[in-house]
Structure 1
Amino acid sequence: MGKLNGKVVLITGGGQGIGFGLAEAFAEAGANLVITGRTLSKLERAKEKIEGKYSGIKVAYFVADGSNEEEVKAALEGTVKEFGRLDTVINNAQNSASGVTLVDHTVEDFDKAIYSGLYATFFYMKHAFKYLKESKGSVINFATGAGLSGRAGQSSYAAAKEGIRGLSRVAATEWGPDGVRVNVVCPLVMTEGLIKWKEEYPELYEKTIQSIPLGRMGDPKDDIGRVCVFLSSDDASYLTGETITLQGGSGLRP
C-alpha cells in the first residue's frame, strides 16, 4: 500500500468534509483508521466508503464529542483495544459562530469555538500521550489562516485556533525528549460549505480565488491529506513544533 502500513491514525471529525479527505489519504498510504464525531450515521457511511474503496484497510469509529473528556478517553481506549497501538492523532473537528463580529459574539458563541476546538484538542492530546510515547508517534493539529491574518468575523474561531497553536508548541517542547512530534496545519480547503458559498456568492468566490497565487482551493485528500501523511511518517522525523500553511500561496510569510 504505502509508507504507513501497519500504522493507526485517529482523525476527529473524520466522517465528513476535511476529515474524510484526510482519512482517504491515510487509507491510501496504508494506515488503519479510527474516525470520531458526534453523528453515528456519518461515521458509519465513512467507514463503509473507505473500506469499500481501499482494500485491506480497517476503519473503526467512536461517537465522541471532543468537548467531553470522558468520551475522548473512551475513544482512545477503544482505539488501542481495537488495534493495539496508536501512531498519530489528528485534531481536525471544530465548530464556531463564523461570520459574527467580535462585538456581536455571545459567551455561548465563544464557548462553542473554545470547547469544540481548544478543549477537544487538549483532551485528545492529554489522553493520547501515553500511547504516542510507546509508538514514538505524532500529533497534527489544525489551525487557520483566519488566526494568522486576523480575518473579520472569525474572532472566536481564530482565538480557539491560535490557542491550539500555542498548545502545540508547548507540547512539541515537552514531548520531544519522548520522541513524540507535534505540528500544526493551516489549510484552505474546498468543502461542502464552500461549495454552497460558491453557489450563493459566485462573484465573491471568484474574487477570493484571484487572491490565491495557485488560483484554486485545496483538495482535502490530495493537497491537505498527503501533507499530513508526510508529517506523520518517518520522512518528517526531524520536524516538530511547526505551523505549515497549505493555502495555495495566500498565506505567504517572510
Structure 2
Amino acid sequence: MQHLERMTERVVLITGGGGGIARGIARAFADEGAKLILTDLFPGGMEKTKAMLEQDFGAEVFTYVADGAREEEVKAAIEAGAAHFGKLNVVINNAQASASGLTLVQHSREDFDIAIHSGMYATFFYMKHAYPYLKETHGSVINFASGAGISGKPGQSSYAAAKEGIRGMSRVAANEWGADDINVNVVCPLVMTDKLAQWGKENPEMFQKNLDDIPLGRYGDAEKDIGKVCVFLASYDAKYITGDTIFIQGGVGMKP
C-alpha cells in the first residue's frame, strides 16, 4: 500500500498495546508509516507486538510498561515516548479491564473499581498528560467506548459505566480543546478477538445467534475495520470531526 506522507510524520500512542484490538490498530498505523508508542501493564505481549510491527512493516516502535490506573506511571510513559520521538500527535485509549458477565447486584465495589480505574481513570490520565504535546502538534484523541454502554447490555454494568463515562469526558474535552485544534472522538467497535473466538467454540449456538444479528454478517477485523477507521480519525482529513461517537459495528444498533 502506498504510504501517506502525512501519516509518516505522526507519532501515535496506543494503550493496551500488548495484543487484542490494540495490535490490529497498531498494524493499521504501521502500514501507513506512523511511528508508534505502545504502553501496557504487561511487557510480554507488548514486546511481541513491537517485534511483529518491526518485521512486517519496518515500523519505529517505542514501548513503555505502565499501569493506566496510576497517574505517575502514565505521565512517565507519555514523557518518555514524546522524548524518544520528539513529539506526540495522537493518543488512542484502548485499554480496559472489567468483570463482565456479572449482573449489577452481583458486582462488588472492587469489580467496579477495576473497570473505572483501568478504563475511565486511565483515559483521563492519558488525556490530561498528553494535552501539552497534543496542543503543540494540533493532535487527535481517539477513545474507545462500547455498544454495551449505549444499549445497556446485561452483565456489563461496570464496563458500561466506565465506557459511558469515557464518552462524556471525551465530549467535554472536544469542547475545551477545540480552540487548540485538538479533535477528540470516540469509537465503538464490534470486533473478533481471541477470547471471542474461544467463546464461540464453547457456545456455538449463541455465537451464531449473535452473528445473525449483525447486518454485515461478520465481526469486525481489528486491523482492517477498526484500525483503518482510527487511521482516518487521526489524519488531517478528519480534523473537522470532533466530539463524535463512530460506530464500527457492522450495522448493529443503527441510529437514526
Output the TM-score relative to the length of structure 1.
0.99
1:160 aligns with 2:162: yes
- Structure 2: 5+ residue runs without aligned partners? none
1:38 aligns with 2:38: no
Q: Which runs of 5+ in 1 are unaligned?
A: none
Q: Residues 14 and 22 of structure 1 are in contact (CA less than 8 Å); yes or no, is this contact kept in structure 2? A: no
Q: Percent identity?
A: 60
Query: Is 1:89 aligned to 2:86, yes or no?
Result: no
CA contact (8 A) 1:141 1:184 kept: yes
CA distance in 1, matches of 2:255, 2:33: 34
For residues 1-254 of structure 1, what are the structure 2 equivalents within 5 Å? Answer: 1-2=3-4, 3-55=6-58, 57-254=59-256
TM-score (norm 2): 0.98
CA distance in 2, matches of 1:201, 1:4: 41
What whole-Å deviation, never above 9, does each CA across 1:115-170 have from its counterpart, x for those lacking one?
00000000000000000000000000000000010000000000000000000000
SS at match of 2:102: coil
Q: How many angstroms apart in 1 are the aligned matches of 2:246 and 2:92?
A: 14
Check whether the contact 1:186–1:244 (CA below 8 A) recurs between aligned residues: yes
Q: How far apart are the structure 2 equivalents of 1:35 and 1:95?
A: 17
Letter in 2 for 1:16: G
CA distance in 2, matches of 1:219, 1:235: 23
Taking the aligned partners of 2:152 and 2:51, their CA distance within structure 1 comes to 39
Task: Give the root-mean-square deviation of aligned CA atoms.
Answer: 0.6
SS at match of 1:4: helix
Runs of 4+ residues over 2 Å off in structure 1: none
Q: Which moved more, 1:33-42 or 1:123-132?
A: 33-42
Tell me how far 1:251 sits from its aligned partner: 2.0
Distance 2:156 2:18 in 1: 24
Contact 1:142–1:161 under 8 Å retained in 2: yes
**In 1, Cα distance between equivalents of 2:104 and 2:230:** 32
Count of equivalent residues: 253
Distance in structure 1 (CA, Å) of the matches to 2:94 and 2:119: 8
Contact 1:15 1:46 in 2 (8 A): yes
| Shift of residue 225, structure 1, vs aligned partner | 0.2
C-alpha distance in structure 2 between counterparts of 1:182 and 1:49, whole Å:
29
3-state DSSP of counterpart to 2:164? helix
